[in-house]
Chains A and B, each alone.
Chain A
Amino acid sequence: MLELKRLNSGYGRAQVLFDFELRLGAGEVVALLGRNGAGKSTALKATMGLLPLFSGEILFNREKLQGLEPFRIARLGLGYVPEDRRIFTGLSVRENLEAGRQPPRAGAPRWTPEKLFELFPNLGRMRDRNGVSMSGGEQQMLAIARTLMGNPRALLLDEPFEGLAPVIVDAVAASIRELKREGLSVLLCEQNLRYARLVADRACIIEMGRICHTGSLAGLDSDPALRERYLSF
């Protein structure tokens, strides 16, 4: 589905990613784990075309993404939810969803605001509320819902559980599992192994911009030394 090959990228002259490699299979949920500043967000931004690639190749359903503008990448069916959510605060919930709407796509689940309000009942209760007055959890749900309005085939989620209350974490995790059932592939950045365990099939660990471990979550659970070395939680 999504394949990142030897990505080198960064901000201006400061390189952050070094020969970064990752594969995301169809219908798979992969957790990209790493400490603060390891380069997780950078990897997602580079994939989404928000950062220039110094070199490397990105394949998405056999289409090359490198060099494409972000809106083209989004229109190929890759959805992105940034870590700071970036919902449009001057727009209502409905309008935020409208801003994310794209035509239906073959081979991807088709979302409507009504379906999304079922997936995130909290949002359904505040359709006309402005983005300014929403809690962190509500904003996170809205950010995911807004991206789903583009009917993506794969999702890039950047730390979706950050700063959420435990109940909300469970709710968001449940909806991510629901998305997987609908056939979406998800690449999710996470610092916290506990949260990753809620949803992910597989984990990749990033350290200083390089992938240094790939394997099952069970494998990670049974290897305290590995956890100690690369993760803080």
Chain B
Amino acid sequence: MSWESILIQLLNGLAGASSLFLVAAGLSLIFGVTRIVNFAHGSLYMLGMYLAVWLSGRVGFWVAVPLAAVSVGLVGFFIEFFLLKKIYKAPELLQLLATFALALVIKDAALWAWGPEDMLGPRAPGFSGAVNIAGSAVPQYDLLLILLGPLVLVFLQLVLSKTRWGILVRAASEDREMAGALGVNQRWLFTGVFVLGALLAGLGGALQIPREPASLNVDLRVISDAFVVVVVGGLGSIPGAFLAALLIAEAKAFCTGLGYSEATLVIEFVIMAAVLVWRPWGLLGRAQAPAKNPGFAQAPAEFPARKVFIAGAVLLAVLALLPVAAGGYTLVLLTDMLVFALFATSLHFIMGPGGLYSFGHAAYFGIGAYAAGILVLNKITTMEFALALAPLAAGLGALLFGWFCVRLSGVYSAMLTLAFAQIAWSAAFQWNALTGGSNGMVGIWPAPWLASKTAYYYLTLILCAAAISFFWRAIHSPFGYALRAGRDSPQRADASGIDVRAVQWAAFTIAGLAAGVAGSLYAFSKGSISPESLGIQRSVDGLVMVMLGGIQTLTGPLWGAALFTWLQDATARNLDYWRAVTGMVILALVLLLPNGIGSFFQKKK
């Protein structure tokens, strides 16, 4: 911990900032014109890395880098042309989901093409040495990258201000419809911008290979970093992205230089908090007009009529009688279904009535699971108490993260939820002493009187049924009306005395709490937890369940969760490429059946 080591870290941080800036700039550019937040942007970066490593072995590094960038640009072209074109008019949420699904598909494509092992890249010929700065060796390549970031910034600014294409891009970012009425064909503009954005991401990845091996985990790490950068810098502002990339990379480097590498996650968080309080639209961002096509045009959820109550009671009775007939395996599956029904219901609560998109709901599921494990394994409390306390931990997490998320709307908030989930995942993954790191924790078993599968099933049934009916009640309580009013017209709700943010914050916290209940139940039913329990995949699972069931319906999450859990149990364990399959299912749902299977059945009736 000397000044030299801090300086070295700062230079290191600057070099990292360049790559990050390339990704964030592409993300910003694409959003500006198409209003789509490309969740697959980190995947394009990852693709750039793999392609560059693979090509380097054939054509040499300096040819491989531009070739990889151009190839990723080409991939971008196909994505835009065959997928995004179809969803520009779709509700925001579906757009987010579609690009998210794309990220899953690309990850499995990379797994298929290059295998699960990390791939080490070559050094850059001509820049493989080091320069002596203040007594330490700084890689020449880092200095090259440090130079490259500002160069790309200047290049982009020139393109945007001096070329006709750039002027049209800026015009369309401001007012798409007007640009169209002036004769601008947006279709090619959109394609062009997406290709450029993809190319930048690919270049960012390709340039990174001398510093870091290509790996399958890169995509989510990069996309959540890029989200933080654009939130801090201002979505749509390229200089903002540059500034924020520098700021965050340097702050992290400073922490590492001081010897507190664990603090890097916290510092990112603190910067974001400070910026959001001080300038909610980012350092150089402008306030966004509300989305033209936000959520769904939702019919108010129907009040559960008598019929629904009776059907619910019958279902509950059937579920209660099942253990008599069902075997152990079926009981475990049913327990899983109940747990995920609660998880999906809580997610649906904030997405449907709340209108907040969460792409990181698994964070609260996972916090609940980990808290339960930590409490029991360290003999802090008994299992029963742990089951009661663990959800509170999840609720606290949601209270903290939710404060940020409700301060932003639409895509901004969605990006934050993902970034927070990634932070929670990193914490679980890195904090060996507490969480067992990548191995997770084992031996988290329920108390003896709940040890039998039947007893545990009943416990799960009671808790989940109670929590789910609580949500159903809440939707039709004054609180639920306030929540929906805030979703449908925030201004009017505000004017009528509803504190929209407070209501949404409360809903977010309650949903996190319930996800924590589901998580801790899950931990005790499995006996072990691993970082996957709060990984992005789990968040995606939740989204798919809600989508499957249909977001407008009250009972949709139940059917969605049951169907999904069963499908996963029946097929996923035998499939190597389950992510791609999930991704394809989401894409198919988005394109063919945007209202979910629930609505499909309703129409049939």
Contact = CB atoms under 8 A, between A and B. Distances in A.
A147 B182 contact: yes
Given A71-B186, A86-B175, A90-B174, A99 B167 contact: yes
A80 B167 CA distance: 20
Contacts of A98: 164, 167
Given A96-B171, A150-B183, 5 more contacts: A74-B182, A82-B181, A91-B167, A95-B171, A147-B182
Contacts of B167: 91, 95, 98-99
B170 A90 contact: yes
Contacts of A102: 182-183
A84 B243 CA distance: 34
B178 interface: yes
A77 B406 CA distance: 46
Nearest to B185: A71
Interface in A35-85: 48, 50, 69-71, 73-75, 80, 82
A99 B181 contact: no
B118 interface: no
Nearest to A95: B167
Interface string B156-168: 0000000010011
Given A91-B170, A98-B164, A99-B168, A71 B178 contact: no
A50 B175 CA distance: 13
A90 B177 CA distance: 16
Interface residues of A, number: 25
B174 A71 contact: no
Interface string B174-211: 11011111111110000000000000000000000000
A109 interface: no
A100 interface: yes
B130 to A, nearest CB: 44
A232 interface: no
Contact of B181 (A70, A89, A95): A70
A80 B180 CA distance: 11
B183 A88 contact: no
30 contacts: A50-B177, A50-B181, A70-B180, A70-B181, A71-B180, A71-B182, A71-B184, A71-B186, A73-B181, A74-B183, A75-B183, A82-B178, A86-B175, A86-B178, A88-B171, A88-B178, A90-B173, A91-B167, A91-B170, A91-B171, A91-B174, A95-B170, A95-B171, A96-B171, A98-B167, A99-B179, A99-B182, A100-B183, A146-B182, A150-B182
Contacts of A48: 181
Nearest to B163: A98
Interface in B121-153: none
Interface residues of B, number: 18
A71 B181 contact: yes
Interface string A126-148: 00000000000000000000110
A89 B167 CA distance: 12
Main secondary structure, interface of B, reads helix
A150 B179 CA distance: 12
Contacts of A99: 167-168, 171, 179, 182, 184
A86 B182 CA distance: 11
A75 B183 CA distance: 5
B181 to A, nearest CB: 5
A81 to B, nearest CB: 9
B170 A100 contact: no
Contacts of B177: 50, 70
A134 B185 CA distance: 27
A71 B183 contact: yes
A46 B543 CA distance: 38
A26 B71 CA distance: 52
Which 9 residue pairs across A and B have the least CB separation, nearest first? A74-B183, A99-B171, A70-B180, A86-B178, A71-B180, A70-B181, A100-B182, A88-B171, A75-B183
Nearest to A149: B182
A84 to B, nearest CB: 10
Nearest to B161: A95
Interface in B42-57: none
Given A95-B167, A99-B167, A89 B174 contact: yes
Nearest to B286: A90
Contacts of A74: 180-183
Contacts of A100: 182-183
A155 B185 CA distance: 20
Nearest to A98: B167
Contacts of B185: 71
A74 B179 CA distance: 10
Contact of B180 (A69, A95, A96): A69
Contacts of B183: 71, 74-75, 100, 102, 150
Nearest to B182: A100
A73 B180 CA distance: 9
Contacts of B171: 88, 91, 95-96, 99
B305 to A, nearest CB: 26
Contacts of A50: 177, 181
A96 to B, nearest CB: 8
A75 B181 CA distance: 9
Contacts of B179: 99
A48 to B, nearest CB: 6
A75 B179 CA distance: 12
Nearest to A103: B183
Contacts of A86: 175, 178
A131 B520 CA distance: 56
Nearest to B166: A95
Interface string B213-232: 00000000000000000000
A73 B179 CA distance: 12
A59 to B, nearest CB: 19
B411 to A, nearest CB: 20
Contacts of A150: 182-183
A8 to B, nearest CB: 21
